Structure 1
Amino acid sequence: MHRLRNVLQQQNIVSAEPTATVYEVATLMARSQVGAVPIIDDERLIGIFSERDLMTRIVVPQLDPQTTPVSEVMTNEVVTASLHEHVNGCIDKMKAIGCRHLPVVAEGRIIGMLSMRDLLRDELEEQDHEIRSLKAYLHQTPI
């Protein structure tokens, strides 16, 4: 079972400031091909804005993304992870709260973003390794 420090790869964190408009943040997300963006103020994580937030908090209520500050519609209560957590624990955490993106923080500062895809890919690679090891063991052991 891996810890996040083994999964989190060196990455450029795509983030936005709370004063940015939803349009600016959505454009940033599209250009960067990410599904969620941490909202950072004074180097501190203060919120997160996701594709789901865009749909439920902008499109459905018909707010204007060009004039709405992301700080008004971001998710304020951000669930985070630390490098010391296990992958399975993070998957469980994400399933429990119904999110697909999890900021990784250290000392209040964001150091990475994980997606459910990242975590599931790691789990599949680990299972694949275990299966290969078991197959090798079976072929070496006389029956």
Structure 2
Amino acid sequence: MAERTVFQSVPKKHVLSVGPQASVYEAACAMTRVNCGSILVMEPPDKLLGILTERDLMTRVLARALDPKKTLVTEVMTPHPICVPPETKVSDAVLTMLERGFRHLPIVGPGHKILGVFSIRDALPREIGNALSQAEFHEQVNDALG
């Protein structure tokens, strides 16, 4: 069975985004409305500036006791996130996430068009298993070379 691509695995193809002047509160409300774990920060019409995730809200806003209504998304987002093309295999995307320690990857097509956001939740167990096997292999190779 051929492995799915990140674009095939994303159930919702619309892109949730806010502008750079949005408050963290506005972003969190938008994420809650559509039950989404991340939101892209975009400069109109289509320039990706960063991504704000549930984890960012917890570690960069709540844990620092910042006021979400007075804090701009640009102050706490992850700027210039790693992106993947739509044909990226799910296990390769999961491997990138495991190695880099994050759970969301914007999918960017031709002309830098944002096509969606791949979440670790979009991966099937076997695809995660493939990524874990690859990560273990990379670790063994690094240990042998180190």
Alignment TM-score > 0.5, same fold:
yes
Q: Distance in 2 between matches of 1:8 and 1:29?
A: 16
User: 8 Å contact 1:2–1:87 — kept in the other structure?
Assistant: yes
Q: Which has the larger radius of gyration?
A: 1
Gaps of 5+ in 2: 129-146
Say what the alpha-carbon RMSD is for the aligned residues. 1.8
The whole-number CA distance in structure 2 between the counterparts of 1:29 and 1:5 is 20
Aligned residues: 124
Structure 1, gaps ≥5 residues long: 125-143
Tell me the percent identity. 35
Q: Secondary structure at the match of 1:102?
A: strand
Deviations for 1:10-29, whole angstroms, at most 9, x for unmatched residues? 52211111110000000111
TM-score, with length taken from structure 1: 0.79
In the other structure, the counterpart of 1:36 is 38
* Cα distance in 1, alignment partners of residues 78 and 63 from structure 2: 16
The answer for the alignment partner of 1:98 in structure 2 is: 101
Partner SS, residue 30 of structure 2: helix
TM-score by length of 2: 0.77
Matched, 1:47 2:53: no
Q: Distance in 1 between matches of 2:91 and 2:47?
A: 26
User: 76-85 vs 113-122, which deviates more?
Assistant: 113-122
CA–CA distance in structure 2, aligned partners of residues 8 and 122 of structure 1: 16
